[in-house]
Amino acid sequence: MNKSSIKSAPVLAKALPQSRIHSLAERAYLEIRNQILKGELPVGMALARRKLAAELGVSVPPVGEALQRLESEGLVESKPRVGTRVRIPTRQDIEDRSLVREALETQAARLFSERATAEEKMELQQMGMRVDQLYAACEQCADDREFLFSVNTYHMNLHLHIAECARCPALRDAIEKEQVLIFNWLYDTAVNRRSLASDFHARLTDVLARCSPVQADEAMREHIRHGLREVLAGLEKMAATENVWRQKKSQPGRKS
């Protein structure tokens, strides 16, 4: 699969639904969040309200509201008179989010194995192979942020397909509400996790489509834990920057 085929596909529909933008703050929120997920605003980067407002073509108040929402969701962090930045996750952040994701997605995998139709299982297997092909393509175009954004969105769609075919709306909503897939995306982007086994997702989806609920549960658990190990290893490289910022004292008169 080439880059043009994935870019032309409607991959954003499930993972990042484009509902009507009711306010400038909502638009600012979505644009800043997408820039974070693309890595255009990398973890640890300082965020100046006035600069963001100018880039987005809005006034400062909507940007301030958007940053407050992003902070409440754990994507950015701020200190009075020090500033605001894209949050560098702690080890505890990542481990906690992974536990929540594991609890939700292993249950979704188990229910998918029991409840999905033969057609839905076949579709999932095709998606698994496609995701592996796309990540392989990413290794050759690592600097193309738009392409990587599309690939990560398609990856999210695969996991949401599992949840939707589990036929438990409350479970699917919990996965979306807890943003477990958004944070997985962010952590992968933060540590530049690109290289995966050539059949990493094909193996997972094959088990979910062909095996028992218990085996589906186990396969999803190992899938998530494998990613966790790689992200934690990459996090160690950011530890020094994280500690300096969090220990920094407020400076009177400083504004973001």
Q: Does domain 91-237 have CATH number 1.20.120.530?
A: yes
pTM value is 0.81
Q: How far apart are CA 63 and CA 99, in angstroms?
A: 32
Q: How many CA atoms lie within 13 A of 152 on its CB side?
A: 25
Position 19 scores a pLDDT of 42
Q: CB of 208 within 8 A of CB of 219?
A: yes
User: How buried is 66 (Cβ within 10 angstroms: 0-12 exposed, 13-18 middle, 19+ buried)?
Assistant: buried
- In the chain, where does the domain assigned CATH 1.20.120.530 lie? 91-237
- In the chain, where does the domain assigned CATH 1.10.10.10 lie? 20-87
Between 81 and 103, the higher pLDDT residue? 103
Position 188 scores a pLDDT of 87
Contacts of 135 (CB under 8 A, 6+ apart): 151, 155, 194, 196, 200
Between 170 and 236, the higher pLDDT residue? 170
Position 63 scores a pLDDT of 96
pLDDT tens per residue across span 185-211:
999 888 877 667 689 999 999 999 999
CA 108, 182, 242, 249 torsion: positive or negative?
Answer: negative
**What's the fold here for domain 20-87?**
Arc Repressor Mutant, subunit A (1.10.10)
